[in-house]
Amino acid sequence: MTGDNAPRVLVVGGGPAGAATAIALRREVPGAHVTLVDKATFPRDKTCGDGLGPGARRVLDGLGLTELLKPFHMPMSVAISGPGGVEALARGPLMEGRDLAGYVTPRLALDDLLLNAARDAGAEVREGVAFEGLTPADGGRERVALSGASASEETFDLVVGADGAYSTVRRAIGVERPSMRHTHIAMRAYGRVTHPDKPVSDTLRFDFLESLLPVYGWVFPLPDDGANIGVGLPVNHLKRQTARHGRKLRDLFDLYVEDLERRGFSVSGVERVATHQLPHAAARTPMTAPGRAAVLVGDAAATINPLSGEGIFYGMAAGVQLAEHLGELDRSGVAWTGAGLAGALAGFEQAHRRRFARHFRECYLAQQLMRSKTWAGIATRAVASSDEAMAHVALMLFDEQSAGSRGLLRLAAHSVRPLLRH
């Protein structure tokens, strides 16, 4: 549709999910007027591990944005350590015929680049503008209240909530937030990390701490010995740690740094410490609400990997899928109202669930197993003994890999072989 009948879409949130949605919409529905708002002014920081794996890289490739990754650091390996001092290492970027290449992309820079790419694609970007709420309007549209740099009330054919874990759009359309049972919390900082023997600057590191399970830690390298350092764990476990031992999240972060130093790492200059909640995909949060011209993507829809805490890939992938379904609706000539729009949104949600359901289910199972010292040790030994298993796990952490029954049997076989030799 073109001219006065062109659909008007509001994307709330200027992070990777929102920017990718706006860019994909401009490609799939070139006649649409796409407005993207964010309450912040860019560049702005965002609490994140900054790891961008092969899945996210593939989405950016599909959007023609590969060049945006050139300024960022690209580690060639992934290391996973577990109980008993066992460490598994995948040396990339190619392993077992799969491309494991990823980047460490500080969100201060990445999000600004993606927001500018949305502008270049033809989206109207308004910074310093907050979403305040919405109400149903005539024709099945949404009347949206915006405040800030350009306060207004405007009507849109569709509102896309890409506004993160604490989504105001989600609350406005009556979708409940995920329970604490399916929510993690993370603390991230920046610092300098070195080791006399290990190539820290070349390796994305995940550590499952024997003394603190299910706490996991990470070190994602940046240039000049810099690193994004952090810990993550279930919110409910943090509450138990606080009740039983008086430990708060910063205490667990400090214990992880101490553990790194016991293993020979030098950690200094820790700064910019920040926390963030991570509602993960086992919650199966609805992405749409009956009778509303609104949809959720990314962290707002709780599509975070339960094993790694990665969310950028799934949010951007959802934005592209949504745009493709809306493009089909637009090309069919059906109006963006009533049953036509509802069918397109339902089709998108079903397609997204089908694509990632098994992957999220298996990542959640793996995350539950890694809460146990016994299973964490078995799993780490298994991936340490097999390049195939290690590549598989790396792609579960940063892509959409699923093991399936055969893969799980192979992993179990790898884990018992060392025991049978003794």
Rounded to an integer, what distance in angstroms lies between the CA atom of residue 338 and that of residue 326?
Answer: 14
Using alpha carbons, list the distances in angstroms from residue 404 to 358, 361, 396: 8, 10, 12
**What's the pLDDT at 421?**
46
Backbone angles phi, psi at 129, to 5 degrees: -120, 125
Can you give the pLDDT of all 422 residues of the chain as single tens digits? Answer: 545 678 999 999 999 999 999 999 999 999 999 999 999 999 999 999 999 988 999 999 999 999 999 999 998 888 889 888 888 887 766 555 667 778 999 999 999 999 999 999 999 999 999 999 999 999 999 999 999 987 899 999 999 999 999 999 999 999 998 999 999 999 999 999 999 998 899 899 999 888 788 899 999 999 999 999 999 999 999 999 899 889 999 999 999 999 999 999 999 999 999 999 999 999 889 999 999 999 999 999 999 999 999 999 999 999 999 999 999 999 999 989 889 999 999 999 999 999 999 999 999 998 888 888 888 888 888 888 887 888 788 888 888 987 654 454 455 555 445 444 44
**What's the pLDDT at 383?**
84
Within 8 A by CB and 6+ apart from 220, the residues are 49, 50, 51, 75, 104, 204, 205, 227, 228, 229
Cross-sheet strand order for the sheet of 87-91: 87-91, 77-81, 203-208, 216-221, 226-234, 183-194, 266-279
Rounded to an integer, what distance in angstroms lies between the CA atom of residue 225 and that of residue 207?
Answer: 19
Rounded to an integer, what distance in angstroms lies between the CA atom of residue 32 and that of residue 7?
Answer: 5
**What's the pLDDT at 419?**
43
Among residues 72, 48, 76, the alpha carbon closest in space to that of 164 is found at 48
User: Which runs of consecutive H residues, i.e. helices, occur in 95-234?
Assistant: 107-120, 168-172
**What's the pLDDT at 78?**
85
- The token pair that represents 130 in the structure block: 């907050």
The counts of H helices and E strands in the chain are 11, 19
**What's the pLDDT at 380?**
86
Cross-sheet strand order for the sheet of 152-156: 129-136, 142-148, 152-156
Rounded to an integer, what distance in angstroms lies between the CA atom of residue 66 and that of residue 63?
Answer: 8
- The token pair that represents 116 in the structure block: 């500018």
- Are residues 349 and 287 in contact, defined by beta-carbon separation less than 8 angstroms? yes
**What's the pLDDT at 85?**
83
Backbone angles phi, psi at 7, to 5 degrees: -65, 145
Rounded to an integer, what distance in angstroms lies between the CA atom of residue 303 and that of residue 352?
Answer: 10
Within 8 A by CB and 6+ apart from 4, the residues are none
**What's the pLDDT at 409?**
46
**Cis ω before 136 (30° cut-off from 0):** no
- The token pair that represents 3 in the structure block: 């001219």
Entry field: residues in the chain: 422
**Placement of tokens 């290492």 in the chain:** 89
Half-sphere exposure of 225 (CA within 13 A, CB side): 12
- Are residues 422 and 381 in contact, defined by beta-carbon separation less than 8 angstroms? no
- The token pair that represents 409 in the structure block: 């049997």
Whole-prediction pTM:
0.93
DSSP secondary structure of 343-370: HHHHHHHHHHHHHHHHHHHHHHHHHHHT
Using alpha carbons, list the distances in angstroms from residue 175 to 36, 291, 300, 305, 352: 21, 13, 10, 20, 18
- The token pair that represents 143 in the structure block: 């009347």
**What's the pLDDT at 149?**
80
Angle ∠(277,318,168) on CA atoms, nearest 5: 45
Angle ∠(161,299,65) on CA atoms, nearest 5: 85
Rounded to an integer, what distance in angstroms lies between the CA atom of residue 182 and that of residue 236?
Answer: 9
